[in-house]
Amino acid sequence: MAHCPTCGAEIAPQSSPASNAGATVPVEIPVALLSSVESALAIGRNAALMNRENEAQDGLEALRLIVEAKVPPAARHFSDGAWAAIIMRISAGAAIDFEVIDIGRSWDPKFLLRITDRSGTEWPRANFRTPNVLDSAPSPDRAEIETLHADLLEIAARLAPME
């Protein structure tokens, strides 16, 4: 099997032009961009719908569903850009803190996960007063936010560079 001269990854052999074996192309999508790719596929599907391109619409929706199945549940609590920034910073070894915050009242419980970049770097769609702090969407369910917290700690442990 051939290897990429840049990254050293194995390159799959190309099928002959007379074969339909090459009807698909393997693609690697960085975990940080999964939710962004899913959104892009949804936009493409919608454009195909508006242009009455039924085959393209069906194909893009099938591909979107494949990508959607790979998106970590934790990503659903943030915008696509914020999720990409979180994962890319974790992968780069940034100093990030995760904290469950109670922002509700006794009669109206609300919890969120606050992510702070200790380097002071701004997050996408950041709060104007504290641009290095990113909050998840609020939830009345503390267990949901605590699960998000645990998921992000597990992702950080898995993706953070080894010291």
Judged against a pLDDT cut of 70, whether residue 147 lies above it is answered with yes
Domain span at residue 91 reads 75-159
pLDDT band at 20 (very low <50, low <70, confident <90, very high): low
Same domain, 42 and 94: no
Specify the pLDDT at position 126.
56
Same domain, 122 and 83: yes
- Mean pLDDT value of segment 74-99: 87
Specify the pLDDT at position 47.
94
Tell me the C-alpha distance between 86 and 82, whole Å: 6
Domain end (from 43, 71, 99)? 71
- Interior/surface letters 122-137, b for 16+ CB within 10 angstroms, e for the rest: ebeebeeeeebbbbbe
Same domain, 81 and 144: yes
The CA radius of gyration of the chain, in Å to the nearest whole number, is: 20
Q: Is the pTM of this model over 0.75?
A: no
pLDDT band at 54 (very low <50, low <70, confident <90, very high): very high
Same domain, 153 and 79: yes
For residue 44, being part of any structural domain is answered with: yes
Q: In 10 A of CB 90, how many CB atoms? A: 21
Share of the chain above pLDDT 70, in %: 80
Same domain, 63 and 91: no
Specify the pLDDT at position 21.
60
